[in-house]
Each structure stands twice: as structure tokens, then as C-alpha cells.
Amino acid sequence: INVFCDVMTKRIFPEFESISLEADKVADAKYQRLESLSIGEYDTWDIGDAAERALEAGLAYYESLEGVRQSLLNLTIVALYHMFEQQMLSFHRRQVLHPRDENTIAKIKMGEMKRLLSDSGLNLESLASWPKIDELRIVANTIKHAEGTSSEQAKDLRLDLFKHPLLGDEESRWAGQTRVYMPLGGKDIYIRVNDLESYRSALVAFWKEFGEAIKQPNR
């Protein structure tokens, strides 16, 4: 989990830090190209029109890369939760289930693991880190499935995730505009790097808590 998050935050996402400068270069190149056209090729030449077209080209470039960056952030959250889920189910199959059941599909479920652990005296939901992990689950499902039950739960938990980062706190028009169409396309839900770090911390904390809990004599 730590290595995965470190790679994303220290290697992948920093590649997007220069997209504003890249967009400026695209705009400049567009302007220079328009300026170089002869009157015969571009008989409606106007310096203001050229500047506007150049600005539009730069903005389109910026928005496309920013969309990819947001898409990757959203995808990272999905991957993070399912990485955790697979770790849990791996433990479940090898350490909780009887060997004869470890390949029984009907038993390889988080609900079954929680039930068996609860029967042994360990309620996963009682661990301090669990509420944040359950939030991660709901947010990850919202990103995967868009509008639905999970998105309604996510809005109750983290309405701020549905607000575009460029909208200020004073933006009243945003209120209630939380329809979720394409979170995997970098739209409608906006995970930030600090959200990723918060979920990472919760997962690491969980494994420490869980490790201590299963050491208890009554386990």
C-alpha cells in the first residue's frame, strides 16, 4: 500500500505539475502559426481573433491533461480499496477459512470474513480505522459505478468530493449540483492527493490495529 501510494504521489502525479506551462507553449505556438499565415491563406486575419484562438487552444490542452490527472487520481482510489480488499480476502482464505473451504467461491467474501471474525470475538467495525476504510469503499464504488446507491452514500459522507476544485466556497450555484456521470473520466467526483494520503493512513493503521487484535488470547 505504501509503495503503491508513494509511486503515484512522487512519480506519477508530479508529471502533471507543469501542464500550465505546457498549455502556455501550446497557445504561443498556435498564435505564432496564425501570425505566420499570409493574408491570402487567412484573409480574415485579426490580432485579437488570433489571440483568442490561441488562448482556446491552450485551454483545451490544459483541460484535457487535467482531466487525465483527475481520472488517474480517481482510479487510484479504486485500485487502493480493491488492493486492500484482496489483501483481506487473502488473509481470510489462508488464516480464517478451513483449508477445505479456501477455494469455495461462496465463502470468499468480505461479509463472510467479518462474520467469522465476529464469531471469534473480533468485530472489524469496532476498530478505530474502520469508518475511514468504509468511506473509501463507498467512494471507490461511486467512482466505478457513477450514479447510484453508493454515490448517495458518498454525498452524505463527503459532499466536498463532488465539488469542482476551481469553484470557490462562495460559489452558490454549485449547491445540489452533484449528478455523477463519468468519474472514471475525471469528472463529477474530484479526489485530491490529500484524500489519497488520508485513505493510505487509514489502511496502514488498520493493519496495525488488526495485527494487535488477533494477538489477543481470546482470538
DSSP run (H or E) holding 165: none
Task: Encode the chain (219 residues) as per-residue pLDDT tens digits.
Answer: 999 999 999 999 999 999 999 999 999 998 888 877 655 555 555 777 888 889 999 999 999 999 999 999 999 999 999 999 999 999 999 998 999 999 999 999 999 999 999 998 999 999 999 999 999 999 999 999 999 999 999 999 999 899 888 766 655 455 556 789 999 999 999 999 999 999 999 999 999 999 999 887 665
| Average pLDDT score, the chain | 89
Compute the distance between CA of residue 54 and CA of residue 27 in angstroms, rounded to an integer.
5
Q: On the CB side of 35, how many CA atoms lie within 13 Å of its CA? A: 11
Contact 5, 13 (CB under 8 A): no
- pLDDT of 201 reads 98
CA-to-CA dists, residue 95 to 98, 103, 117, 133, 206, angstroms: 8, 13, 11, 21, 17
Q: What is the pLDDT of residues 9-35, one digit of tens each?
A: 999 999 999 999 999 999 999 888 887
Contact 190, 162 (CB under 8 A): yes
Q: What is the pLDDT of residues 60-83, one digit of tens each?
A: 999 999 999 999 999 999 999 999
Residue reference for cell 463507498? 138
Kindly state the cell numbers that stand for 165.
476544485
Q: Per DSSP, which regions of 67-120 are E strands?
A: none
Compute the distance between CA of residue 145 and CA of residue 166 in angstroms, rounded to an integer.
24
Q: Which amino acid is at 120?
A: S
